[in-house]
Each structure stands twice: as structure tokens, then as C-alpha cells.
Amino acid sequence: MQSYEGYFEQGGQFVPLGTVSIPARKRAIVTILDEQPTQDEVLKERLAAIDEFFKAIEASDEEVPEFERVNFTREVDL
């Protein structure tokens, strides 16, 4: 028996953390660990989403509306 460490991408593809050679048509057992993603993994995923967002905007032929700047951290008296 062999075991390989890696992770699953959003599309369901398994990405090993090293080079592996798995023969075709072999029975396998997959164990999903109860671990939280690292900060680097979360940052990488968020940056990829932002890149995808801007690529979609650039590929669109629709006019992108202008928004005025907003400062969400400033204090406001109500």
C-alpha cells in the first residue's frame, strides 16, 4: 500500500505535493483531513478570484460604471 499527500482543487482534481506514479485502474481510498487551509492557501485563492474578476471585466463589451471612492474605515457621527 502507498499513500500520497496532496490537496483537491475546486474542480475536483487531486494535486499531489510531490511526483507520484500511480498505475491505472488501481483501487484507492481517499481520506479528507479536518484541517483548515493555511493563510497562504487562502490568500492564493482570493488573489485568483480577484484576477478572474478583472479578466471578466476586461473581456466584457459592456460599459463599467464609475463609482465614487468610499472609505469604510472612517468614523461617522450619526
Contacts of 33 (CB under 8 A, 6+ apart): none
Residue pLDDT, tens place only, 14-69: 889 989 888 899 898 888 888 887 888 889 989 999 999 999 988 999 887 888 88
Answer yes or no: are the C-beta atoms of 11 and 18 closer than 8 Å.
Answer: no
Q: Cα separation of 48 and 25, whole Å?
A: 33
DSSP-H helix ranges across 26-72? 39-59
Q: Residue 48: its pLDDT value, please?
A: 94
Report, in angstroms and rounded to the nearest whole number, the Rg of the chain calculated over CA atoms.
Answer: 21
Domain residue limits, the chain: 6-59
